[in-house]
Structure 1
Amino acid sequence: MNVTGIIAEYNPFHNGHAFHIEETRKNTDADYCIAVISGDFVQRGAPALLNKYDRAKMALENGIDLIIELPVITATSSAENFAQGGVCLLNALGVVSQISFGAEANTASDVDLLGRLADFFAFEPPIFQEYLDQALKSGCSFPAARAKAALTCLQQAKHHSMDSQTLAQFEQLLASPNNILAIEYMKAIRRHNCKLTPSVVTRTGAGYHDADTDTALASASALRKFIFQDTSDQKNNFDTLNQMLTRTVPDSVRELLLTAYESHAFLQEDDFSDLLYYELQRQLLHPTASDADTTRSDLTQRIANKLESFTCWSEFVSDLKTKNQTYTAISRYLLHALLGIDGELLNAAKTYYYAPYARILGFRKDASPLLKELQAHSQIPLLRKIVKERQNLTPEQQKLLDLDVYAANLYNRILFKKSGIQRKNEYREPLIIL
């Protein structure tokens, strides 16, 4: 059985994702494709546009055979831990031989250089940290500082025989968010000796941050921005949205998104503003032992100083942003505060390499042979009915699963407040079976 894994958010699913799945099947000759997806909260420190079951359904209708949820503590972590969790989860299933991901890599040379960068980051030389600290002190954001420090190390390493052209290629590759994540996937494979062969699909169409929706291959961020634009004229906006979605997403996804639009079922950070404000106030009144990390301590102090002027989540993040800290990193920090993700939970996640179990969200009926193989070979618990299976987990796994349940309940409560849609409790929510 030839099984390929994909790590994704599908937030929302669009033509680019459909293209990636199609190319993945072609490149790997896969019998089955498993997607590990973020749940109700995503890596940029925000709620998903739609709940995880709707997004799982989108993927199952468009080429994926089985969907597994990435635990919320992993899905909302840094790129390194996000990639580590996804890769280790796929590897621990015991049946996945390849992992497919997109990258801005147009040639075999580019793919080779991504591999060389992955080797470098998997086993960073001691001098790297010194260069990283220097770049951070100069005012660079962490991603920019990391790239600068890596390029300096690579340029100085004699065995790399770095010429100016290769250096320029490295610099260009490190400038892309998708390439950074691709490098993290490859790094995790090397660092944890995973039995996964990388398969790179060249990204086409709009870039990661491109807001253009006048294309068949618009980015997920462009779709979200379009959806959350001014909605004062509901009828005209519905027609305009329909036209845009007709270009950018598969028909089944368009129907689901239009239904969600009419039901006011799309969520974003600012829908959680009041909950975040109350939680930050509570933590200021009842502080707990915090990390010794200087950056985090500085951020905590800025939060305390600026909380009085809090208006909403997005504006508060903008107020807290500095040269060294990105909007996304701060938003993730606030999301962790809201969800109660503390050092104890993070240590529990690290114990399992951010892959404590594999919770199945849905599958296609014709993938039953795949399910049998998973049950026979998985090295981590397979969860289908958590009301029965929770008791078989270790105390640490139970805490991480309880966090997933809490996050979903919080998401569903805000969804109900905004749309009137009431979803079942996580212990009673059925799997998506197509």
Structure 2
Amino acid sequence: MTNNQKDSGVSDTMNVTGIIAEYNPFHNGHAFHIEETRKNTDADYCIAVISGSFVQRGAPALVNKYDRTKMALEHGIDLVIELPVIAATSSAETFAQGGVCLLDSLGVVSHISFGAEANTTSDIDMLDKLADFFAFEPPAFQKYLDLELKSGCSFPAARAKAAVLCLQQMAFDSMNTDTVAQLERLLASPNNILAIEYMKAIRRQNLKLTPSVVTRNGAGYHDTDTDTELASASALRKFIFQDNSCQKADSKVLNQMLTRTVPDSVRELLLNAYKTHAFLQEDDFSDLLYYELRRNFLRSASSDPDTECSDLEKRIANNLETFTCWSDFVSDLKTKNQTYTAISRHLLHAFLGIDAELLAAAKNCHYAPYARILGFRKDASPLLKELQEHSQIPLLRKIAKERQSLTPEQQNLLDLDVYATDLYNRILFSKTGIQRKNEYRQPLIIL
């Protein structure tokens, strides 16, 4: 997708800002980000592109995508669109590309807002320079990256070290220690890495989106502290799943923690999910994962014995006999070079049946084949009208009716999104007895 493919461009009748998020779950930090976004971009409307039933760390969402849509619409978002599952469960690069290209394809979005651990103008300028660097990597970068990987670093750590070394070389080793420390600090934050990927995707795809950075306050991405108003989503999940059981968290203590960290309406929804055992995590899907991996192993064993297998695939086959649960299996497969989340994403793709054909179809449309609307606010009807006029990809509101108008490739990707949610809903039913409507009968969330 390039600017040449655009029509007259972003609508000049309204100011629309896009946000890419998971809201897993929605918390005070997200509310702060939306509020700051509206101030910084003078937005008439905010569109959120969110992950669906599964999220980027290779796990199911804590609660279903329609509840998370409601959370967003109640706290400053005007329209919620689902990020297709292939992009939502891929690396930071693909996750960012899918979200950015989807927002750009709507034809009405002028800005994209995201959080970053960038406390100064210098930090934000450096993130911009790093986005340029990664968008157009010099040949020396790959050499440094290979060396760091061979030394035993994980990919994220190796990438950061290789970037610093390469930038030092490009500066003829004149880079001062403060700048090196700044680079290392910025590249150590998952939120900054995503921020860089958003800006990189905009450059590579030559998109007309203006980045707007909101400095994150409170806990960092991996911070587990919940004794703060601005706790991270991972801290909330860790608290809920203490000792790998959502029932280990006392309801009174959970209520106190949520009162401190999330808006009131979100607290009520999460407490209800707690009472009905409706929180999902990867280990709830362990049996289905085992059956799928076992089926894949039998299928590959009966095919060409000379077929090359990756090192990870060999480790999966060798460890399958001792499989106990999803999380333990990932831990058993983990190496210095491969992170827990990267392995969990690989298993999730196998679990969902994401093959080379589906990956190619998603890549061909920049991971943005359509815009599937999950919900909107009634007072956002002018925005919907603008979308219908300017969007360069199909807008989906009633997929039972609209699926037939899609190309075969788009239909296959939509079917994958539907299948992912069907599996999620089935496990939810097995665990709780809660039966949700299937994707063809599920109404939009309208507030």
Normalised TM-score (structure 1): 0.97
Q: Secondary structure at the match of 1:359?
A: strand
In structure 2, the residue matched to 1:328 is: 341
**Residue in structure 1 matched with residue 86 of structure 2 by the alignment:** 73
Q: Select 2:376's aligned residue among 331, 355, 363.
A: 363
Cα shift at 1:161 = 5.8
Using the alignment, how far apart are the partners of 2:320 and 2:359 within structure 1? 25
Partner of 2:406: 393
**1:347-386 → structure 2 map (5 Å cutoff):** 347-386=360-399
Q: Partners in 2 of 1:160 and 1:56 — Cα distance?
A: 49
Residue in 1 aligned with 2:157? 144
C-alpha displacement of 1:388? 0.9
8 A contact 2:239–2:249 mirrored in 1: no
Residue type of the partner of 1:362?
Answer: G
1:231 Cα deviation from its structure 2 partner = 9.2
Instruction: Please tell me whether the aligned partners of residues 231 and 237 of structure 1 are also in contact (alpha carbons under 8 angstroms).
Output: no
Q: 1:88 aligns with which of 82, 98, 101?
A: 101
Matches within 5 A, 1:102-251: 102-158=115-171, 162-229=175-242, 237-251=250-264
Name the SS for the 2:46 alignment partner: strand
Deviation at 1:130, TM superposition (A): 1.2
Q: Which moved more, 1:233-242 or 1:30-39?
A: 233-242
TM-score (norm. length: structure 2): 0.94
Structure 1 residues 214 and 147, CA gap change in structure 2 (3 angstroms):
same
Deviations 1:164-193 (A, max 9, x none): 221211111001010000000000011111
Going from structure 1 to structure 2, the CA distance change for 1:152 and 1:245 (only over 3 Å counts) comes to same
Q: Where in structure 2 are there 5+ consecutive unaligned residues?
A: 1-13
Q: Distance in 2 between matches of 1:64 and 1:393?
A: 28
1:25 partnered with 2:38: yes
Distance 2:178 2:217 in 1: 24
Runs of 4+ in 1 over 2 A off after TM superposition: 158-164, 230-236
Q: Which amino acid in structure 2 is aligned with residue 408 of structure 1?
A: T
Instruction: Measure how far apart 1:163 and its partner are.
Output: 2.5
1:414 paired residue number:
427
Aligned-pair distance for 1:129? Answer: 1.0
Amino acid at match of 1:222: A
Q: Does residue 3 in structure 1 map to residue 16 in structure 2?
A: yes
- Point out where structure 1 has 5 or more consecutive residues left out of the alignment: none
SS of 1:287 mapped into structure 2: helix
Q: Aligned residue for 1:345?
A: 358
Is 1:261 the counterpart of 2:268? The answer is no
Q: Secondary structure at the match of 2:119?
A: coil
1:432 is matched with 445
1:158, CA displacement in angstroms? 3.3
Amino acid at match of 2:430: K
Task: Calculate percent identity across the aligned residue pairs.
Answer: 82
Question: What is the aligned-residue RMSD (CA, Å)?
Answer: 1.9
| Distance (whole Å) between structure 2 residues aligned to residue 168 and residue 210 of structure 1 | 21
Amino acid at match of 1:68: I
Contact 2:73/2:377, CA 8 A, preserved across alignment: yes
